[in-house]
Amino acid sequence: MPPQITTSPLSRPDGSATYTDALSTVLAAVNGPLEVSRRDELPSEATLEIHVRPAAGVGGPRERWLEAVLHAVLRSVVLVHLHPRALVQVSLQVVREPAGGGVGLGKGRGEVAVLPALVNAAVLALVGGGVGLEGMLSAVLVAVGGKGELVVAPGVEVLEGCESLHAVACAAGGGLVMDESTGRFDLGVWGEVVERAREACLAAFASKGEDEAMANGDVEAEPWMRQVLEEKVRDANAWREST
Partner 1 sequence: MPREAEPSNNAKAFLLQALRENVRLDGRAFDEFRQIDLSFGDEYGVATARLGKTKVMVRVSSEVVKASADRKFDGVFTISTELSPIASPAFEVGRQDQAEVLLSRILEKTIRRSGALDTESLCIIAGQKCFHVRADVHVLDHDGSLVDASCLALVAALMHYRRPDFEVRGEEVQIFDPREREPIKLSMQHQPFCVTFGYYEDGSVMLLDSTLLEEQCREGEVMISMNRFGEICQIAKYSGEPVDAMSVLNCMNVALEKVKVFDKLVKAKLEEDEKRRDVGGLMAELSAENAR
**How far apart are CB 4 and partner 1 at their closest, in Å?**
13
CA torsion 149-167-156-119 (nearest 10°) is: -150
| H/E element, 85 | none
**How far apart are CB 40 and partner 1 at their closest, in Å?**
11
Name which position in 8, 24, 47, 91 contacts partner 1 (CB under 8 A): 91
Between 53 and 71, name the residue whose CB sits nearer to partner 1: 53
Q: How far is CA 13 from the centre of its chain?
A: 19
Which positions ≥6 away from 239 have C-beta within 8 Å? Answer: none
Name which position in 22, 42, 86, 95 contacts partner 1 (CB under 8 A): 95
Name which position in 38, 43, 44, 58 contacts partner 1 (CB under 8 A): 58
Instruction: Tell me which residue of 70, 50, 54 sits closest to 62, measured CA to CA.
Output: 54
231-240 contacts at long range (C-beta below 8 A, 24 or more positions apart):
231/7, 232/7, 232/8, 232/127, 232/128
**How far apart are CB 207 and partner 1 at their closest, in Å?**
32
Q: How many residues bind partner 1 (CB under 8 A)?
A: 23
Name which position in 3, 5, 7, 13 contacts partner 1 (CB under 8 A): 13
DSSP 81: G
Name which position in 51, 62, 71, 232 contacts partner 1 (CB under 8 A): 51
Between 53 and 62, name the residue whose CB sits nearer to partner 1: 53
Q: Is 27 in the site for partner 1 (CB under 8 A)?
A: yes
CA 13, 132, 203, 227 torsion-angle sign = positive
Residues that bind partner 1 (CB under 8 A): 10-13, 16, 27, 29, 31, 34-35, 37, 51, 53, 55-58, 89, 91, 93, 95-96, 100
